[in-house]
């Protein structure tokens, strides 16, 4: 797809792939492309889901015994 959009799908995917995914992509042209291109929008959604699923760190509390022992040992 290229028609009225400034970037090709290939360029958008390349930009999104390089983009690290934390803040929203700053380039308005990319946002406009995503609004008008369902396949690239789907591509971005699967990437976001992958980052949400695999990038979510589930922390647990430090066992009190370990915390207590370290506090004593380091003192």
Partner 1 sequence: MRVHLTYKNLEREPLEPLLQQLAARLEARVADFPQDAVLLHGTLEKHPSRALYCAALVLRLPRRTLTAQEEHTSAQKTVEKAFVEIERQLKKYKALLRREHLWKRPARREAIRLATKLAAAPLQEAERALFRDLILANLKKLYNFIRREMAYYLTTGELLPGELQIEDVVDGVVLQAAQEFSQRPANLEVSRWLLKLALNYMEAKIRRLKEERAAMVSVEEDIPEPLDELYEFYQPDEDLRLEDVLPDPLAPTPEQVLESRDLQRYINHTLAQLPRPWRNAFVFYYMEGLSLPEVALVTGQTEVEAQHYLEYAREFLRQKIVESDLAMAA
Residues forming contacts to partner 1 in the complex (CB under 8 A) are 17-18, 20-21, 42-43, 45-63, 66-67, 69-75
Residue by residue, DSSP assigns 14-75 as: HHHHHS-SSSPP--HHHHHHHHH-HHHHHHHHHHHHHHHHHT-----PPPHHHHHHHHHHH-
CB of 37 to partner 1, least distance (A): 16
Query: Of 3 and 61, which has the nearer Cβ to partner 1?
Result: 61
CB of 7 to partner 1, least distance (A): 18
Instruction: State how far the alpha carbon of 35 is from the alpha carbons of 2, 41, 45, 63, 69, in Å.
Output: 13, 7, 12, 48, 55
CB of 14 to partner 1, least distance (A): 10
Query: Of 3 and 20, which has the nearer Cβ to partner 1?
Result: 20
Query: Of 3 and 43, which has the nearer Cβ to partner 1?
Result: 43
């Amino acid at each position: 797809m290229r028609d009225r959009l400034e970037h090709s799908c290939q360029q958008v995917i390349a930009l999104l792939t390089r983009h690290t995914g934390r803040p929203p992509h700053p380039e308005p042209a990319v946002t406009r492309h995503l609004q008008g291109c369902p396949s690239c929008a789907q591509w971005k959604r699967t990437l976001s889901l992958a980052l949400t699923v695999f990038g979510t760190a589930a922390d647990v509390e430090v066992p009190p015994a370990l915390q207590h022992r370290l506090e004593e040992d380091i003192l």
